[in-house]
Structure 1
């Protein structure tokens, strides 16, 4: 049996303010909404929770504010067993995401970084031992570029990157990703950042886009394709992984559920394709519930498409 590799997530923690609408408003338009509750979120926190619920041993490096949102923002991280020793409390506000979900389950998200802006090189360096001890380090795009670079430089194990949102980061650090996790839109922006014609690559289709990313220097790439599943690409070729059919309720955090589940299975010793097959099922489960972390499957729950 393969030994479970420890995972360290260096990323963002948010409080999510979610409202539901029949349809998202156009410019200058007011629509009536419901909801308005606060739930835990942040791409880093979401992925850490998803990984922990899928059996990974997870440590988190990040920051929250000294406000009332810090407790609800970290509640599910705590209950899912994520080690929060390296989460610092800083003066000011915890990160906040304002999420609008329409009746088809599609969402629009606005993020106020708050304390996540403190996850810079200095903070990451204070927890360098936590990062270097990890078998897998998982990163996103909701922290400062200096913190991203410091985490990659401290990593001695595998680096997995979901550069969402796509922000400017050190090129060599980004190319350490194995795999790079991205949707098609993000993949195009990343290729543009690397000096390639990202728009042309995306227009040519997922397989072509993934091949261009591998040719740009990534050891492996996983493109998420929404309801169509995912695509795994390496220098040896590409393989499509279909998604089970489900009725979406809320797509918030589904990509993070995929990322966390994928990393959990990589930490357990799965190959990329096997890990992606599992992650696609976890992502499909997540869209059938409301919110981000609250929609993630608990251990032992039967997943869509599971035999």
Structure 2
């Protein structure tokens, strides 16, 4: 696989996804029959690491797993996806899990049980050296907030671009935002951060917090803005969705890779949108993510 000249480090969650496929998701107090069940390595951190690696970046993962079978599978999947796992920690107890319900429309709902991810409340010995060699740090919020803030602060000191996907949605402290270069929320997360569900208004609100932001909007595409007043909108590619679990993490991993390689924002967003479009046509998380050559072919046909 041809690579790109950038190094991406991910500091974040590693989970085992426990996925039930159902015709219609159950409501409160309701029981439904599923048609299939799968287990697959996931977690927003590990997912974004695999997405970046498949996009061609040199990728390193700093995360934590339990001393259980799930932990072994998660680490092996990262390694097989060409992600450097030297920064992975193994802690006593259970690995994190994500309990996912996917309906026939491809929509999903997720409950995350952090498990070993709770150990990522600070940097460990050696993590600083990994960040020294990184062009970009990718962060999410499935690990303790003090750990996210410590990693962002260390990366900022070293001149790495700090990209944060604020998921699960939460209010963010000003000291963390001061170290974030680019926020990549979806519409719901942007609304939590800004109080506005209208994308352009939410974008303006995000730019009061950080210098750059991209709001992902599912089938409505994505929109970018910065404090210089630049706005870029990129439509989504219309494809039949089977499972949207990996879409957001695929977008973030590919976007970070392309920006780190020096691509203009519009090209980076378009490639991220193409990779997401390919991912939603397949079941699973990391298994659904496309290689760089697949994205090239997809775009060449359009």
Give the TM-score normalised by the residue count of structure 2.
Answer: 0.93
Structure 2 match to 1:151:
151
Alpha carbons 1:258, 1:283 under 8 Å: kept: yes
The CA deviation at 1:132 is 3.2
Q: Specify the alignment match of 2:129 in structure 1.
A: 129
Alignment length, in residue pairs? 294
2:82 matches 1:81: yes
Residue among 288, 291, 296 paired with 1:295: 288
SS, match of residue 87 in structure 2: strand
Among 177, 180, 183, the alignment partner of 1:180 is 183
Distance between the aligned counterparts of 2:45 and 2:249, measured in 1?
Answer: 8
Shift of 1:167: 3.4
Q: Is the 8 A contact 2:123 2:151 kept in 1?
A: no
- Which SS does the other structure have where 2:163 is aligned? strand
3-state SS, counterpart of residue 181 of structure 2: strand
SS in 1 for 2:97: strand
Helix, strand or coil for the counterpart of 1:17? strand
Q: What residue is the counterpart of 2:249 in the other structure?
A: 256
Task: Give the whole-Å Cα distance in 2 for the aligned partners of 1:96 and 1:251.
Answer: 18
Unmatched 5+ stretches in structure 2:
none
String of CA shifts for 1:32-72, please: whole Å, max 9, x gaps: 11322210100000000000000000111110000111122
Q: Report the alpha carbon displacement of residue 169 of structure 1 after superposing the two structures with TM.
A: 4.2
Q: Which moved more, 1:174-183 or 1:244-253?
A: 174-183
Deviation at 1:29, TM superposition (A): 1.1
In structure 2, the residue matched to 1:285 is 278
**Contact 1:161/1:174 (CA < 8 Å) preserved in 2?**
no
TM-score, length basis structure 1: 0.91
Unaligned runs of 5+ in 1: 192-197
Q: Does 1:230 align with 2:233?
A: no
Output aligned runs, 1:206-221, within 5 Å: 206-214=199-207, 216-221=208-213
Rounded to whole Å, the distance in 1 between the matches of 2:254 and 2:51 is: 6
Q: Residue 140 of structure 1 corresponds to which residue in structure 2?
A: 140
Q: Is the 8 A contact 2:14 2:117 kept in 1?
A: yes
Contact 1:54–1:299 (CA under 8 A) maintained in structure 2:
yes
Moved more, 99-108 or 175-184: 175-184
Matched, 1:19 2:20: yes
Runs of 4+ in 1 over 3 A off after TM superposition: 167-170, 302-307
Contact 2:118 2:143 in 1 (8 A): yes
| Structure 1 residue matching 2:110: 3-state secondary structure | strand
Query: Which residue in the other structure is 2:39 paired with?
Result: 38
Q: After TM superposition, list the pairs within 5 Å mapping 1:58-69 onto structure 2.
A: 58-69=59-70
**Alpha-carbon offset, residue 122 of structure 1:** 4.6
- Give, in whole Å, the separation in 2 of the partners of 1:172 and 1:282: 33
Measured after TM superposition, the shift of residue 75 of structure 1 is: 3.1
Q: 2:109 is paired with a residue of what secondary structure?
A: strand
